[in-house]
Amino acid sequence: MKSRAAVAFGAGQPLQIEMVDVHGPKAGEVLVRIVATGVCHTDAFTLSGADPEGIFPSILGHEGAGVVEEVGAGVTSLKPGDHVIPLYTAECKQCKFCLSGKTNLCQAVRATQGKGLMPDNTSRFSLNGQTLHHYMGTSTFSEYTVVPEIALAKIHIDAPLEKVCLLGCGITTGIGAVLNTAKVEAGSTVAVFGLGGIGLSVIQGARMANAERIIAIDVNEDKFEMAKQFGATDCINPKNFSDPIQQVIVDMTDGGVDYSFECIGNVQVMRQALECCHKGWGESIVIGVAGAGEEIATRPFQLVTGRVWKGSAFGGVKGRSQLPGYVDQYMNGEIEIDPFITHTMGLEDINKAFDLMHEGKSIRSVILF
């Protein structure tokens, strides 16, 4: 079949809207009609050429929601008409990772996913006979996409897809990093570096965890108003201080924060986030994605003296088991999504969504098909 899609032909090039060919679902696969998709900084990161797994030409997008159109042979958990969120972190419930009880990082389809292919090592997308690669197993910048059954969360049929698409990445990542990875306790002091969709979701999660003090840090002060709305108690711009920002935060908090979160993808800020943690127990969670070849550094003494460095992918959330519950929490009013959607547009304007992100003017743009 034909599908409207935004194609990434090469690093640093604008996406091009094309009518691509989509091959139907093979065994264990599902054809999904995407209704809406967010644009996450990770899409921009891969488009920039900084992603070691970036492959071109490809169809990016990983923060979508849609409707099942057709299922391949052997698919039992989904049927046409079901509403779903594609998962870039699948959940097979059978692999060593799924069974460990220690991680959400299912590896059942991760190797082929990283090569831009379906589990049988082929692509379902092409244009004029040329293969187009999948991205993160989701490719939500196409109206029709093919996804493994184990990489689809079936959600409440009444959930508004143009809103809950943001649970496919940003909002879940931030809340999950607080609740699953850090396990922030009530009364904690928290620092959040970077106030985009991820950082604001961390603030939302910290508030859900009843953190007492939430320090929001960004170089773009336009982000402070929304950070305060979500529960930030202090907003600071590192550019306004002559001291290193980690020292500023240690001084503000009687020795450092209990938890910090890096939501930018900047390895220097990752160091600042670790070093603003309290001696003896402070934990810093890396969420931001850094480019090929970048490395983090600190004095090992920072760790010897009790600070902990951790990472979090998709907020540690197991997509098929837990994401439907996040959707229900949105519908019950326990999770906020609507204020994140600063812009909506059609697929033809998707490059504008990238521009707004780079200009610091949007939190999330949602593409409506």
Dump the DSSP string for 134-200: -STTT-TTBSEEEEEGGGEEE--TTS-HHHHGGGGTHHHHHHHIIIIII-PPTT-EEEEE--SHHHH
Nearest distance from residue 95's CB to ligand NAD, in Å? 19
Which one of Zn ion, ligand AHE, ligand NAD, none interacts with residue 105, CB within 5 to 8 A by kind?
A: ligand AHE
Q: Does 294 bind ligand AHE (CB under 6 A)?
A: no
State the burial class of residue 175 (Cβ atoms within 10 Å of its Cβ: 0-12, 13-18, 19+).
buried
Residues 50/95/34/226 CA torsion (nearest 10 deg): -60
The answer to whether 169 contacts Zn ion (rule: CB under 5 A) is: yes
The candidate with the shortest Cα–Cα distance to 302, out of 266, 330, 260, 338, is: 260
Size of the site for ligand AHE (CB under 6 A): 12
Q: Nearer Cβ to ligand AHE, position 47 or 248?
A: 47
Closest-CB residue for Zn ion? Answer: 40
Q: Out of 36, 192, 198, 277, which residue is the one contacting ligand NAD (CB under 6 A)? A: 198
The single residue among 110, 213, 228, 343 that binds ligand AHE, judged by CB under 6 A, is 110
Catalytic residues: 40-42, 62-63, 92, 95, 98, 106, 110, 169, 364
Say if residue 57 is preceded by a cis peptide, omega within 30 of 0.
yes
37 binds Zn ion (CB under 5 A): no
Q: Which does 53 bind (CB under 5 to 8 A by kind): ligand AHE, ligand NAD, Zn ion, none?
A: ligand AHE
Q: Is 48 in the site for ligand AHE (CB under 6 A)?
A: no
Applying CB under 6 A, which of residues 137, 148, 168, 196 lies at the interface with ligand NAD?
A: 196
Among 3, 37, 42, 284, binds ligand AHE (CB under 6 A): 42
Among 37, 123, 145, 173, which residue interacts with ligand NAD (rule: CB under 6 A)? 173
d(CA 229, CA 143): 34
- The contacts found for 218-223 with CB under 8 angstroms, 24 or more apart, are 218/193, 218/194, 220/195, 220/360, 222/360, 222/361, 223/195, 223/196, 223/199, 223/360
Residue 285: burial class (beta carbons within 10 Å; 0-12, 13-18, 19+): buried
Does 40 participate in binding Zn ion (rule CB under 5 A)? yes
Q: Is 331 a binder of ligand AHE (CB under 6 A)?
A: no
Q: Taking a C-beta distance cutoff of 8 angstroms, is the pair 123, 289 a contact?
A: no
CA 139, CA 168: separation in Å to the nearest integer? 12
Q: Could you tell me which stretch among 8-16, 37-45, 92-100, 277-285 binds ligand NAD (CB under 6 A)?
A: 37-45
Give the residue ranges of DSSP H helices in the chain: 41-48, 96-100, 110-114, 161-164, 170-176, 197-208, 224-230, 245-252, 267-275, 300-304, 319-331, 350-358
Nearest to 141 by CA among 153, 129, 133, 150: 133
Task: Please name which of 175, 222, 170 lies closest in space to residue 197, comparing C-alpha atoms.
Answer: 170
By CB under 6 A, residue 195 contacts ligand NAD:
yes
> With CB cut-offs between 5 and 8 Å by kind, which of ligand AHE, ligand NAD, Zn ion, none does residue 336 bind?
none
219 binds, among ligand AHE, Zn ion, ligand NAD, none (CB under 5 to 8 A by kind): ligand NAD
The mark string for 3-32 relative to ligand NAD (x by CB under 6 A, - otherwise) is ------------------------------
> Of 18-26, 77-85, 167-175, 261-269, which part binds Zn ion (CB under 5 A)?
167-175
Residues 315-354 that bind ligand NAD (CB under 6 A): none
CB 312 within 8 A of CB 174: no
Interface positions with ligand AHE (CB under 6 A): 40, 42, 51-53, 89, 105, 110, 169, 289, 313-314
Given the rule CB under 6 A, which residues bind ligand NAD? Answer: 40-42, 45, 169-170, 173, 193-199, 217-220, 223, 238, 263-266, 269, 287-289, 312-314, 357, 360
